[in-house]
Amino acid sequence: MKPTQDELQDWLTRLTDFKENRFHPLVWINGEPEIGENVYIGGLSEVNAKGARVVIGDHCDIASFVAINCADSHRKSIGLTDKIESRDITIEHHVFIGSHSVVKGGAYIGHHSVVAAGTIVDPCEAPPYSLIIGNPMVLKPGYYLPQIKERS
């Protein structure tokens, strides 16, 4: 007999550190991110808010295999510091984040923006209606604004 979603979530919670969440049993949420209403987060994605404030606005669509991670441990790993650096992340309302993307600490993504699949979002301030694409990332501020105005 196939387990229910609740049973699967219970097993995963007991076997891993994947806390129960409203998104998908295989979404890993660490810390206490502030996640708005009507947000979708696909399986095998991570939201790490341990040590910083991570805010995800309403009506966001976060695909599978996305890492939203406030922590950066590379300086600790190579002996330049004794602690992990954590920085806030803000993702405003109506943001789409494509599969296999990474949003690093220090990123601020304005409302109605798109992060293209596979993009690594470095610390930045992306204004509303932006397209963020690539690695290294390219920020196209206001990319979607003409299309939004055209629909109005």
- Which domains does the chain possess? 5-151 (2.160.10.10)
CA proximity to 91, closest of 32, 39, 28, 141: 39
Q: What's the pLDDT score for residue 110?
A: 98
Report how far residue 7's alpha carbon sits from residue 89's, in angstroms, rounded to the nearest whole number. Answer: 32
**pTM, full prediction:** 0.92
Q: What is the pLDDT of residues 48-107, one digit of tens each?
A: 999 999 999 999 999 999 999 999 999 999 999 999 999 999 999 999 999 999 999 999
User: 3-state DSSP call for residue 22?
Assistant: coil
Report how far residue 90's alpha carbon sits from residue 104's, in angstroms, rounded to the nearest whole number. Answer: 10
H-helix or E-strand spanning residue 107: strand 107-109
CA proximity to 24, closest of 9, 35, 37: 9
